[in-house]
Amino acid sequence: MLASRRDDYNHSRTAEQDEGRLRLTGPVFKVHIEPGGHELLVAGGENILAAALAAGLPLPHSCRAGRCASCKAKLLAGEITYPGDSLPPGIVAAEAARGEVLLCQARPRSDLRIATRAAPGAQQPVSGVTVERTEMLSTGGQRVTLKFLGAAMPGVRPGRFIDVETASGERERVPVVAVSGEYVDIEALELAPHSLVRARGPFDSPR
């Protein structure tokens, strides 16, 4: 009986969030995360990644804006929602249909079981990007100004290359022509600039 009352309390109490998390009221759900068997309490209006990081669970992530897909995980059981009830830019409908979710945007609507990916080791960094400006080039292709979401990509500079990607995983390696703080200018030939959501790199060669 005591355990039942405690569960009822957990689902109805005000979610007093840790420093750096939103102070929210309403239902609170149990989120079970594998590997490791971690269990969190996450408010219905809070994204799962924020709750995990606040609890000291170092899940893979980068842009925290739903674009880079570093936080992509597999929903094994339960139901989530996204802000505005629409998919974030970094995931496509086919992935969502397979149960893939972006934890930086996903909010629980029930108790959940989630399988996360291992934190990346020596892989190239992934950054979410937005397209700020495009300019047609007389030689073909377009010069595109990208803005990094979060910290700028370390080591990126003119003369090096980065891979730009769409939400569906199409990828093009492009030259870096200018860098200014959180902005980078590239020359894209194949992919439509408005479809770009993330970047990887940098690299020293075009292939």
Say what the pTM is: 0.67
Rounded (5°) CA angle 52-76-71: 40
Domains of the chain: 2-116 (3.10.20.30), 126-203 (2.40.30.10)
What residues are paired with 34 via a beta bridge? 115
Quick one: tokens of 82? Answer: 């996204």
Dihedrals φ, ψ of 6, to 5°? -65, -40
CB 103 within 8 A of CB 61: yes
Q: Cβ distance 26 to 42 under 8 Å?
A: no
Q: What is the pLDDT of residue 185?
A: 97
Q: Model confidence over 190-202: pLDDT tens digits?
A: 999 999 999 988 9
Give the pLDDT band of residue 119 (cuts 50, 70, 90): low
Beta strand pairing call for 112-116 and 28-34 = parallel
User: Could you tell me which residue, 119 or 34, shows the higher pLDDT?
Assistant: 34
Q: What's the pLDDT band for 86 if we cut at 50, 70, 90?
A: very high
- Integer Cα distance of 42 and 196 in angstroms: 31
